[in-house]
Amino acid sequence: MAHVVVIGGDAAGMSAAAALRRRLPDAYEVVVLERGEWTSYSACGIPYWVAGDVESADDLVARSPEEHRANGIDLRTGTEAVAIDLEAREVETEHGDRIAFEVLVVATGAEPVRPDLPGIDGQGILGVQNLGDGQAVLDALETDPQHVVVVGSGYVGLEMAEAFVARGIRTTVVEKAPVPLSIIEPSLGEIVADAMRGRGIELRTGAAVEGFELDDDGHVTGVTVDGEVLPADLVVLGLGVTARSALAAEAGLPTGVKGGIVTDARQRVAGADRVWAAGDCVETRDRTTDLPLHLPLGTHANKQGMVVADDVASTLLGEPNRLTFPGVVQTAITKFCALEISRTGLGEQQAKDAGLDPVVVSIETSDRAGYMPEAGSMTVLLVADRGSRRLLGLQVVGTENAGLRVDAAATALTAGMTVDDVVMLDLAYAPPFASVWSPIQVAARAAVKALGA
Distance CA 287, CA 268 (A): 19
- State which fold the 125-237 domain adopts: FAD/NAD(P)-binding domain (3.50.50)
- pTM for the structure as a whole: 0.93
Task: Tell me, yes or no, if 337 is annotated catalytic.
Answer: no
Measure the CA angle with vertex 115, ends 78 and 283; round to 5°.
65
The reported pLDDT for the residue numbered 368 is: 79
CA distances from 52 to 55, 138, 159, 314, 331 (A): 6, 10, 13, 44, 27
> Which residues lie closer than 8 Å to 199 by C-beta, 6 or more apart?
162, 165, 336, 337
Q: 125-237 and 332-451: same fold?
A: yes
How is the beta sheet containing 147-151 ordered, strand by strand?
A: 125-127, 234-237, 147-151, 170-175, 202-205
How is the beta sheet containing 358-366 ordered, strand by strand?
A: 332-336, 339-345, 391-398, 377-385, 358-366
**Count of CB atoms situated within 10 Å of the CB of 91:** 25
Q: What is the mean pLDDT of each run of 10 residues along the chain (453 residues)?
A: 88 96 95 94 92 92 94 96 96 95 97 92 93 94 95 93 94 96 94 95 95 96 95 94 96 96 97 96 96 94 98 95 96 93 97 96 87 85 97 95 93 97 94 88 96 82
> Which residues lie closer than 8 Å to 70 by C-beta, 6 or more apart?
none
Domain boundaries, the chain: 2-43+60-111+241-317, 125-237, 332-451
The reported pLDDT for the residue numbered 1 is: 56
Distance CA 407, CA 411 (A): 6
Q: Helices 406-414 and 439-451 sit at what angle, rounded to 10 degrees?
A: 50
Q: Which of 23, 29, 42, 44 is catalytic?
A: 44
**263 close to 301: Cβ distance less than 8 angstroms:** no
Beta-ladder partners of 345: 393
The reported pLDDT for the residue numbered 453 is: 64
Pick from 61, 73, 81: which is nearest to 21 by CA?
A: 73
The reported pLDDT for the residue numbered 23 is: 95
Radius of gyration of the chain (CA): 23
Pick from 405, 406, 402: which is nearest to 378 by CA?
A: 402
Find the farthest-apart pair of alpha carbons in the chain and give their distance in angstroms, rounded. Answer: 71
Q: Per CATH, the architecture of 2-43+60-111+241-317 is what?
A: 3-Layer(bba) Sandwich (3.50)
The reported pLDDT for the residue numbered 2 is: 63
Q: Which residue type, as a one-letter code, is found at position 125?
A: I
Q: Which residue type, as a one-letter code, is found at position 153?
A: S
Pick from 384, 390, 330: which is nearest to 360 by CA?
A: 384
The reported pLDDT for the residue numbered 370 is: 74
**98 close to 24: Cβ distance less than 8 angstroms:** no
- State which fold the 332-451 domain adopts: FAD/NAD(P)-binding domain (3.50.50)
Distance CA 387, CA 165 (A): 46
Pick from 43, 110, 106, 39: which is nearest to 74 by CA?
A: 39
The reported pLDDT for the residue numbered 28 is: 94
Pick from 280, 289, 238, 287: which is nearest to 257 by CA?
A: 280
**Count of CB atoms situated within 10 Å of the CB of 142:** 7
